[in-house]
A and B are shown apart, each in its own frame.
Chain A
Amino acid sequence: MIVSIKDSFKLFGIFIITCCAVTVCNMFLNYYLDIIDIESLINNEYAQIFYDAQIMTCKVVCAVSGGCLLATTVVMLFFYIKHYIDSHGKEIGILKALGYSDFRIARSFSVFGLSVFTGCIAGYLISFALMPSFYELQNEDKILPEFSISFHPALFIILVAVPAIVFACIAVIHSMRKLKQPAVNLLKGITKAKGKNIEIKNKKNFIADMKSSVIRNRKTLVFFICFSSFCFAAMIQMSASMKDLSSEYMGIMIFIIGVTLAFTTLYIAVTTVINSNSKNIAMMRVFGYQTSQCKTAVLDGYRPAAYIGFFIGTAYQFGLLKMMVEIVFADFEGVPEYNFDVKMFLITLAAFIVVYEGIMLIYSSRIKSISVKEVMSE
C-alpha cells in the first residue's frame, strides 16, 4: 500500500467539511421525510402554509449547503491528491520506474474515501444528537400535528455510504490522471499538471516576483482562502439575521458551522503555503531577507482573495435570506421584513479584519521559527 490508512486521517479538512454537510443535510432531510408523512393530517390553511414553507426551507437549505459543501469537498480532495503526489514525487517516481502500473499506485488513493466516510459518520451521529431539540423547535407553536423522529435507512445510504464510495472512486480516477506522466518527471519534481514552471512577468523587485509565483503555484489555496472568508462573512451575518427570522438555535448552529469551516480552510491553506515554501523562506533568510519580507512574499499575496471572499459571502447571505423571506415565506404572516443589516456587516467586517490579520501575524512567527539550516535538509 502506497497511501496508508494513516494518510487518510491527515485529510482533516475533508473530515470537517463532510461532517458539517452531513449534519445539516441529515437533520433537514430526516425532518423533511418525517413531516411529509403527516401532510394528510393537516386540516387548516394556516398549517398548510406553514407546512409548505417548512418543506421549501428543507429543500433550499439542503440544496444550498449540501451543494456548496459537496463542491468544496471535491476541490479539497483534488488538492490533497495533488499535494500528496507533489510531496511524495520521489517515492512514487521510483515505484513507477520499478514498473508499478499507474493503476496499482492510484488504487491505494481509495483510502481517501475513508476520510469522507468518517466525516459523514460523525456528521450523521451529530445530527441525531441535535435532532430532538431541532424538531421541538420547528414545531414550537404546535401548528403542525404531532410527529416524532424516525430512522430512515435510505438517508444513511445516501449521506454516508454513497459519498464514501463515490469519493474513493473519484480519488482513484483523479490520481490516475495525475500519475500519467514519465517517472523521471516525478523524480525531478516536474509535474505535468499546470501549476509548476509558470512564467510570470518581471515585477519591480524580487519580493513581488516571489509573491506572484507563490500564488500562481497554488491556485487552489486562493480558492480555499476565498472560501474561508466567504464562510466567515456569510455564516456570521446569516446567523445574526436568523436569530430574528427563525430562532436563536438556528443562529447558533449556523454560526458554529461557519466559524468551523472558515478556520479549517484557512488553517489548511496557510500551513500548506508555509510548509511548501519553507525551503524558499530559509534560502531567502540565508541571503539576508528579514522575516517580514519573507512574510510579505509568501502570505500577503492572498489578502485580496480573502477580502473578495468576504464581500461575496456578504452578498450571498443577503441574496439567500432575501429570497427566503420574499419567496418561501411570502404568504406567511409574522415574518419580519428583511433588510441588509449594516450594523452587523460592520461588526463582522471589523471582526474579520482583526481575526485575519491576527492569524497572519501568528503565522509570521511560524516563519520566524524556520531555521536557515532547513535549506540543507534534504
Chain B
Amino acid sequence: MIKIKNLTKYYGTGDNRFKVLDDISLEIKDGEYVVVLGASGSGKSTLLNVVSGLEKSDSGSICYDEKSISNMSEKQLTSFRKDNTAFIFQQYYLLPNLNVEKNVKMGADLYGNKDYKKYIEAVGLSDKLKKFPNELSGGEQQRVSIARALAKNPKVLFLDEPTGALDEKTGRLVLDYIIKLQKEQKFTMIMVTHNSNIAETADTVVRMNSGKIIEVTKNQHKKSAYEIGW
C-alpha cells in the first residue's frame, strides 16, 4: 500500500518559483494498476519521481506500508529502491557503453535473476542481444529499458510513457506483455501516459492538471491491450 499525503513540490527560486505538485493525496493498493493522465507539463513525471523517492518533495509524506520514505537517507533510499522499485523512463536512459544484454543484466543482477533473457525475448529483441544502444532505434531502446525494469522483478513498477516511442503494433504487444506480467506477479504499477485509450486497461485512472489531481476514477471493466483504440 502506498499512501501519498498532501504532497507539494516547487521548482525554481525567487520570481521563477512555481508549484509543480500542488497538495496531492492518493492511496494505491498493492497490486493495483494506476494510470496517470494529463497534459504535457502538468507534473506527471515529477509526481512519479517524487513518489519513487528519486526526488524530494517540499512537504507532505509518502509511505510504503507504513514506512515513510520522506526522511530516509540516500543510502536507505538506495537500498529501498533495490528491494522495491523499477523504472521505465520517458527518455530510456540506457547505459551507452553496454550492449542490450548487459543493460538488462543490470536490473536482473539486483534480484539475482539469472533468467533475464526471457524478458528480452518478450519485448522482441532476442536478435539484438549484442547491439549497443546507439545502434538501436528509439523504440528498440525503449523496449530494452522495459526489459531491464521487468528483469528486476520489482514490487512497484514506475513507467513514464513506456509506449511513447512505439508504433501501434509493437506498442500493443509490449503493453500486453507488461499487463500480463503485472497480473501474474501482482506487482503495483503506476504508469504515466498521454494516450487516454491506455487508461481503459487500468484499475484506476488519475487525471492531473497544473500539478493538481482533478479526478480519480475506477474502471469497472478493464480492457486488454488489444481491445482499446490506439
Complex contact B109–A206 (CB within 8 A): yes
Assembly CA distance A179 to B95 (angstroms): 24
Q: Is A197 an interface residue (CB 8 A)?
A: yes
Q: Is B63 an interface residue (CB 8 A)?
A: no
Q: Is A375 an interface residue (CB 8 A)?
A: yes
Most B CB atoms within 10 A — which of A189, A213, A287? A287
Complex contact B54–A197 (CB within 8 A): no
Do A288 and B83 form a contact, CB below 8 Å, given A190-B134, A205-B109? yes
- CB contacts (< 8 Å) of A207 on chain B: these are 109
Give a binary string over B90-105; 1 marks a CB under 8 Å from any A CB, 0 the rest.
0101011111011001
Q: Is B119 an interface residue (CB 8 A)?
A: no
Q: Is A194 an interface residue (CB 8 A)?
A: no
Do A287 and B81 form a contact, CB below 8 Å, given A197-B132, A206-B106? yes
Which of A2-10, A267-275, A277-285, A315-323 faces chain B? A277-285
Q: Which DSSP category, helix, strand, loop or mixed, fits chain B's interface?
A: helix
Closest chain-A Cβ to B166's Cβ sits at a distance in Å of 20
Closest chain-B Cβ to A145's Cβ sits at a distance in Å of 64
Closest chain-B Cβ to A281's Cβ sits at a distance in Å of 10
Most A CB atoms within 10 A — which of B54, B83, B86, B108? B54
The contact sample of 6 A-B pairs, CB cut-off 8 A, is A205-B105, A280-B95, A283-B93, A283-B106, A288-B79, A368-B74
- CB contacts (< 8 Å) of A378 on chain B: these are 91
Assembly CA distance A376 to B82 (angstroms): 19
The listed residue (A196, A285, A290) touching B97 by CB distance below 8 A is A196
Interface residues of B in 33-64 (CB under 8 A from A): 49, 54-55
- CB contacts (< 8 Å) of A289 on chain B: these are 78, 82, 110
Do A286 and B81 form a contact, CB below 8 Å, given A213-B98, A378-B91? yes
Give a binary string over B126-139; 1 marks a CB under 8 Å from any A CB, 0 the rest.
00001010110000
Complex contact A199–B130 (CB within 8 A): yes
The listed residue (A199, A288, A372, A375) touching B99 by CB distance below 8 A is A199
Q: Is A373 an interface residue (CB 8 A)?
A: yes
Complex contact B109–A286 (CB within 8 A): no
Number of A-B contacts (CB under 8 A): 88
- CB contacts (< 8 Å) of A290 on chain B: these are 75, 78-79, 82
- CB contacts (< 8 Å) of B107 on chain A: these are 287
Assembly CA distance A217 to B97 (angstroms): 8
Q: Which residues of B contact A (CB under 8 A)?
A: 49, 54-55, 74-75, 78-83, 85-87, 89, 91, 93, 95-99, 101-102, 105-110, 130, 132, 134-135, 152
Complex contact B81–A373 (CB within 8 A): no
Complex contact A286–B54 (CB within 8 A): yes
- CB contacts (< 8 Å) of B85 on chain A: these are 288
Complex contact B97–A288 (CB within 8 A): no
On chain A, the number of residues with a Cβ less than 8 Å from chain B's Cβ atoms is 33
- CB contacts (< 8 Å) of B75 on chain A: these are 290-291
- CB contacts (< 8 Å) of B95 on chain A: these are 210, 280, 283
Do A288 and B82 form a contact, CB below 8 Å, given A190-B135, A372-B54, A375-B89? yes
Assembly CA distance A101 to B120 (angstroms): 42
Interface residues of A in 84-101 (CB under 8 A from B): none
Complex contact B93–A288 (CB within 8 A): no
Closest chain-B Cβ to A123's Cβ sits at a distance in Å of 37
Q: Is A209 an interface residue (CB 8 A)?
A: yes
The listed residue (B98, B110, B130) touching A210 by CB distance below 8 A is B98
Assembly CA distance A207 to B75 (angstroms): 18
Closest chain-A Cβ to B196's Cβ sits at a distance in Å of 25
- CB contacts (< 8 Å) of B109 on chain A: these are 205-207
Q: Is A188 an interface residue (CB 8 A)?
A: yes
Closest chain-B Cβ to A285's Cβ sits at a distance in Å of 6
- CB contacts (< 8 Å) of B106 on chain A: these are 206, 210, 283-284, 287
- CB contacts (< 8 Å) of A202 on chain B: these are 101-102
Assembly CA distance A284 to B81 (angstroms): 11
Closest chain-A Cβ to B83's Cβ sits at a distance in Å of 7
